[in-house]
Amino acid sequence: MGDRIETEPAKPIRRSRRERVAGATSAPAAPVVQAGDGGMAGVFRDAAAVRPGFFTLSDHKLDILRRKSIALLAEHGFTINHDGAVAQLVAAGARADGTRVRFPSELVEAALRETPRQATLYAKSDDPGLTLALPRADNTFHVRTGTGAHGFIDAESGAYRKLDRDDARTLARLADGLAEIGFIAHPFVNDVPTATADIHGLATVMTNAVKHAWIQPYSADNIGDLMHIAAAAAGGEAALRARPVASCIATSFTPLEIKQMDTEAIIQCARFGLPIHACSLPTAGGTAPVTVPGAVLMAAAEIVAMVTMAHVLGPGTPVIATPLMFTLDMRSGRSLQSSIEAIQAAAIAIQLMKRGFGLMTHTYGFGSDTPNADAQSQAERTLLGSTVALSGADILGGAGQLECATALSPLQLVIDNELAGMVRQSLHTPEVSDAALGWDDLLKVEPGGHFLAEAHTLAHCRDHFAPEAFARLGRDAYEESGRRDMMANARDICRQVLSRDPPPGLPDDDTRAEIAAIVAAADRRAAG
């Protein structure tokens, strides 16, 4: 029997008797579509239950992949373009032949044993609801917005444009106000010098959102500035180390290589106390074998290499295994994020990293290969999100992203917020007790009877997930509404969230000035 989780149901906002009698029947202040948390925590949840899931591969096959990935690092090795890192790895027992570093299995296993299995991603606000524990306390997942996209789909017009700082600001504020979104990545902003786009992007997220930020460096030269922006936002380097308000991606350069920039990212994350998302992005048939297990093996080997590097270069730094799986469309040569093979590969990769290596896990839980937030987008991301959630992912990334992670859409972000809530609800294991079963009502129901008027139904009628964007109108109401659909509701939610006052915890004027100074100095340096 698990713990019962009680929450207060939302109270209706109603008119008073006097208002009614005086003739007031129009809706009170709250609009029909409300941007709220969209769902219920749910009573009768068995908090002690194992997270529901499915397993694509047997333990035996996962073990083969585990052993093969470690063997690949021992036999083939990993190319590391960073002299200092190579030297430290050699000192720790690795064998180097120039930049080709071979990892003995003992070193890898030691790294896997000692890499922290937990991390906390902090927000700039004191609100404990915004602190992200990994793994999550309720054994589900956190959600991250899409990163690095350079395109933007306007919420009102649907038009596509190159993403600029205003758009980044919009996305940050929107993500900050959507309850299921846990942390926010900076997109690629186009209206700034290309060389400092990452610095501008992070600065925009840091000054417009209180939630945890995800850093993606675009060049080694910028890593220091990115860390300093995070430190400024946290209140100093010591504060950042104590409560990391940002975490950072380090990406392998598939196949089996890591650039100097990403090695430096690992080193600086360790220095500043930021958790690392060790990311591999293999493309099956392109940078990795064409088969699903071959691509998974590539991702596993690269991630484990980065885990080992972090263990040597920054012992004790939390590392989150982040396989982002793609396939190459063999007809066109385009990369696909949401082909069924990419989805299966993500599922297996997550299962392998979690069960095989015992690591915290992160992958795309949202995204599609279509340019717009259309029916295909919803189908692809639902397949993807459900599959990887059931595979055990601790973080579902890519909320709001389209066109193979190259464009971001506010409306899609709102819908992904809702999908996340539904998928999360689907992972909650229900309690099976007499109270949960409605046993007493079952015993007394008469033929032709119903449960609608029972106290049990009344008490729990709000336990069901209550969507705000998804439309549930019958045909007549749908026509009368002017064919109002999910996208129209999402647009309303977007407008409501963006019209709210900023939350507490945003950087004050001094901090903003400090961040602006870092950005300006970076621009001057880049301009030479």
Partner 1 sequence: MTPDNLDDRLDAIYDAVLSYEGEITAQLVAAEIDAGTDIQVVLKDALIAAMDEVGDLFGEGQLFVPEMLMAAKTMKAGLEVLRPHLTDSGTKPIGTVVMGTVEQDLHDIGKNLVGMMLEGGGFKVVDLGVDVKPADFVAAAAEHGADVVGLSALLTTTVPNMKKTVEAFRAADYGGRIMVGGAPVTREFAHSIGADGFAGDAPGAVDLARRFVRND
- Residues at the site binding partner 1, with contacts judged by CB under 8 A: 12-18, 20-21, 25, 27, 30, 32, 448, 450, 452-454, 457-458, 461-462, 474-477
Give one DSSP letter per residue of 129-196, joined into a string: GG-EEES-TTSS-EEEE--S--EEE-TTT--EEE--HHHHHHHHHHHHH-TT--EEE----SSS-GGG
Residue 134 CA to residue 247 CA, distance in Å, equals: 13
Containing 121, the helix (H) or strand (E) segment is strand 119-121
Within 10 Å of residue 117's Cβ, how many Cβ atoms?
11
Q: How far is the CB of 45 from partner 1 (least distance, A)?
A: 20
Task: Write down the least CB distance from residue 436 to partner 1, Å.
Answer: 17
CB of 452 to partner 1, least distance (A): 6
CB nearer partner 1, residue 60 or residue 450? 450
Q: Closest distance between partner 1 and the C-beta of residue 490, in Å?
A: 16
For partner 1, the closer CB: 194 or 481: 481
What angle, rounded to 10 degrees, do the helices at 260-272 and 292-313 form? 50
In angstroms, give the least distance from the CB of 445 to partner 1: 13
CA distances from 303 to 70, 250, 358 (A): 11, 10, 13
3-class SS at 411? helix
Looking at the Cβ atoms of 61 and 462, the one nearer to partner 1 is 462
Q: Which is nearer to partner 1, 96 or 422 (CB)?
A: 422
Question: Which one, 483 or 524, has the nearer CB to partner 1?
Answer: 483
Is the CB of 14 or the CB of 117 nearer to partner 1?
Answer: 14
Of 105 and 457, nearer to partner 1 (C-beta) is: 457
Spatial distance between the Cα atoms of 117 and 70, rounded to a whole number of angstroms: 19
Compare residues 291 and 457 and give the one whose CB is closer to partner 1: 457
| Least CB distance to partner 1 at residue 230 (A) | 41
- Residue with smaller CB distance to partner 1, 375 or 453: 453
The residue assigned the tokens 């989150």 is 320
CB of 7 to partner 1, least distance (A): 15
Contacts of 255 by beta carbon, 8 Å cutoff, 6+ apart:
282, 287, 288, 298
What is the torsional sign of CA 459, 485, 492, 207?
positive
C-beta of 454 vs 523, nearer to partner 1: 454
CA–CA gap between residue 221 and residue 195 (Å, rounded): 9
d(CA 250, CA 496): 35
Nearest approach, Cβ of residue 373 and partner 1 (Å): 24
Taking the complex as a whole, the smallest distance from the CB of residue 46 to partner 1 amounts, in Å, to 24
Taken as a whole, the chain contains a residue count of 528
- For 370-409, give the DSSP string: SSSSSHHHHHHHHHHHHHHHHHT-SEEEEETEETTTTEE-
CA atoms within 13 A on the CB side of 511: 19
Helix, strand, coil fractions of the chain, as percent rounded to 5? 45, 15, 40
339's CB contacts (< 8 A; 6+ apart) are: 327, 329, 369
Residue 428 beta carbon to partner 1: minimum distance, rounded to whole angstroms: 20
For the stretch 313-335, what's the b/e string if a residue is b when 16 or more beta carbons lie within 10 angstroms of its beta carbon?
bbeebbbbbbbbbbbbbeeeeeb
* Least Cβ distance, residue 178 to partner 1 (angstroms): 19
For partner 1, which is the closer residue by CB, 489 or 511?
489
Pairing outcome for strands 151-153 and 160-162: antiparallel
